A and B are shown apart, each in its own frame.
Chain A
Amino acid sequence: MAYTVAFWILATLCIGSAVVVVLGRNAVVCGLALAFNLVTVAGFFLLLNARFMAFVQVMVYAGGIMVLILFVLMLFNIQDEEKARMPRFFQRYLGFLVTAGLMVLLFAALRNPEVASFPDRSSEFGTVAALGTELFTKFFYPFEAISVLLLVAMVGAVLLAKKRL
């Protein structure tokens, strides 16, 4: 009962903020709405008992990446758009197409009983210990590969940004 109520409150906030991101006239307000949206997604993780994921989601996306994006938006000091510009032809129809494709994919996934029942909230799923064990045993090589990938990206960014090292 409490779970369902919390889910619907979160879902409303999540979709509401997403709508603001898309329709908002002011870039900074859109950015703030996106940050709020990321926090509500963390709320869903909490409902699934995945606390590690929830707090890392807030820390990395809302507390780190979004702050940097807002930083740039505020420096540009974009004023309210007087009139929403009509999107270009491609943006408009390609957008519909991509969204429709995503919806088909999501519904197809939800029809799969294995995915629809995921995850089991009663088990140890999502605790810090369980996540750590999975990462460092079952998914060790993918995990290390991603770490190296991120390191390479970081070195690359520094190299591009700073000509004279």
Chain B
Amino acid sequence: MTDLLINLLSTAILLVVVVSALMGGVAIMTWIERRLSAMIQYRLGPNRVGPMGLFQPIADGIKFIWKEDVTPRDAHGPIHSLAPALAMIPALVAFSVIPFGPEIELFGRTIPLVLVNIDAGVLLALAAASLGVYGIVCAGWASRNKYSLMGGLRAAAQMISYELALVLALIGVILVSGTLRPVEIVQQQAGWFTNWNIFGGWQLLGFVIFLIASYAETNRLPFDMPEAESELVGGYHTEYSSMKFSLFFMAEYVNMITSAALVVTLFLGGYQVGLPASMLPEAGWALWILQILAFVIKVGFFLFLFVWVRWTLPRFRYDQLMNLGWKRLFPLALANVMAIALLLAFDVIKR
């Protein structure tokens, strides 16, 4: 009984830590996005609230809470209210399988720094990600607004199209590692950084396809068709205000963090520092903190890349987006799977 109790307690503590870290990350990302975009466009950005404008997210949050929550007269009430939650939940669930640190030893027990450690973990992340489209589609439809509906439908078509390329790119990694458990995938990438799947597993093409597809999955520029403001006003969240709008906004950032973490876990060694064990400190707090830091830095880089790309590239046209997804990425991803399978069959890649 005490075993179960301690398990429950440690999971609960881990859950609180992860969710607060994610929410903190979201708050910081909104600030970074605005500051970075300002730097890219040679202006200042929010720099008034707190040091360097760091408290801006708090001010934004308070503003969102006090704004009037408007529901359009013709909207489908229950689903209009449900949609923001439907957008948020899958994003959080998908993060649960990502190991953000090594197995640490605390009070004589081994605790892996991952919320859900199961043999089909990668599939859980994919399943959750595939449900993310419901929030957007429901929001688009329930608003009873033509722009919203168009945004929602675009999201449905786009996310299903790019999911194919995303999953196929991932199959390459699964072929090489021979497991669907994220913890094991990361453990296999220990040692020099040449052991990371992107180098040692010949996954460079898969990595590029996965990255492009994850931009489409998170509806970020250059693929933000569901909310293309020059065509669709605000897209699927045109009719949302107050905290409901803020939930969509936060869901987008949680999705970004989850995508970045998935890329890092699958292709770039997760929490592995990229050095052989002989050059690292002994197993202990020093090593664990170093590894968690490595994970955070890698994820941080991909978050920076999200922002950098957004403020550099123009938006795709819708038919270009579909052509890229179906006629370029999809065949490329298929070819990648074949190539990896052949390389494995002829022992060019060692498992």
Contact = CB atoms under 8 A, between A and B. Distances in A.
A64 B119 contact: no
B54 interface: no
Interface residues of A, number: 27
Interface string A142-157: 0000000000000000
A64 to B, nearest CB: 6
Contacts of B149: 74, 77
A59 B3 CA distance: 34
B156 to A, nearest CB: 5
- Residue from the set B76, B120, B157 with the largest chain A CB neighbour count within 10 Å: B120
Interface stretch (A7-15, A49-57, A86-94, A103-111): A49-57
Contact of A52 (B123, B140, B157): B123
A158 to B, nearest CB: 11
Given A28-B141, A29-B79, A55-B120, A67 B127 contact: no
A107 to B, nearest CB: 32
B153 interface: yes
A63 B123 contact: no
A74 B153 contact: yes
Contacts of A56: 123, 127
Interface in A19-59: 26, 28-29, 32, 35, 39, 42, 51-52, 54-56, 58-59
B123 A75 contact: no
Contacts of B79: 28-29, 32
Interface string B93-132: 0000000000000000000000000111001101101110
Contacts of A77: 149
A55 B153 contact: no
Contacts of B249: none
A139 interface: no
Given A55-B124, A68-B160, A75 B153 contact: yes
B213 interface: no
A136 interface: no
A58 B160 CA distance: 13
Given A64-B160, A68-B160, A74-B153, A51 B130 contact: no
Contacts of B124: 51, 55
A70 B119 CA distance: 32
A77 to B, nearest CB: 8
B138 interface: yes
A74 B142 CA distance: 10
Nearest to A68: B160
B153 A71 contact: yes
A127 B181 CA distance: 12
Contact of A35 (B118, B134, B152, B163): B134
A30 B152 CA distance: 18
B130 A59 contact: yes
B137 interface: yes
Interface in B249-305: none
Given A28-B141, A55-B127, A75-B153, A67 B119 contact: no
Interface string B138-175: 10110000000100110011011001000000000000
A55 B126 contact: yes
26 contacts: A28-B76, A28-B141, A29-B76, A32-B79, A32-B138, A39-B131, A52-B120, A52-B123, A54-B127, A55-B120, A55-B123, A55-B126, A58-B127, A58-B130, A59-B123, A59-B127, A63-B163, A64-B160, A64-B163, A67-B133, A70-B137, A74-B140, A74-B141, A74-B153, A128-B120, A128-B180
Question: Ordered nearest first, which 8 A-B pairs have the shortest CB separation?
Answer: A63-B130, A55-B123, A58-B127, A51-B120, A55-B127, A59-B127, A74-B141, A71-B156
